[in-house]
Amino acid sequence: MLEALVDPVRRRIVSQLDAGDKDIKCGDFDIAVSKSTATHHFTVLREAGLIRQYYVGTARMNSLRRAEMDEAFPGLLDALTSASRTRHLGCRGEPLRCRRLRSFRVSPRTGRRDGPPGRGRPGTTFPAGDRAW
């Protein structure tokens, strides 16, 4: 079960299910992965016993097995969801950007990009008017 919670996408799915007051369709989650990858993550969570899936018409609904998890592992989901809520908040409660999602800016003067390394070569130029904010 803990192995299923190692992946940040699965932790985000669990956090969204815990934050919502009703069950969520597979396509309504705010996760940046492909449909097939999302299906894999839902399968891992279901097989670990963290979520329950059922059909409503053609939609596959997901619900968090909160009561069962609190009975088996008291406080685990509370710790997980509170950590995911506070992880991306700064000292004033403002959202921080993830290092992986940090944007870069293009200098209007030179047309070169400034920002974190790793996404292309420094000094990459973009077509006029195309800015990656």
**What are 81-128's pLDDT values in tens digits?**
787 665 544 444 444 444 444 444 555 666 665 555 545 555 555 455
- 34 versus 121: the higher-pLDDT residue is 34
Does domain 2-87 bear CATH number 1.10.10.10? Answer: yes
Q: What is the pLDDT of residue 91?
A: 42
What's the pTM?
A: 0.63
Domain residue ranges in the chain: 2-87, 103-133
- Kindly provide the residue ranges of all beta strands, DSSP E only, lying in 3-64, ordered along the sequence: 24-25, 51-56, 59-64
> Which class for 7: exposed (0-12), middle (13-18), buried (19 or more C-beta within 10 A)?
middle
8-19 vs 76-87: helix crossing angle, rounded to 10? 100
**Contact indicator for 43, 14 with CB cutoff of 8 Å:** no
Q: Give the span between the Cα atoms of 42 and 51, in whole angstroms.
A: 8
Of 76, 53, 62, residue with least CA distance to 1: 76
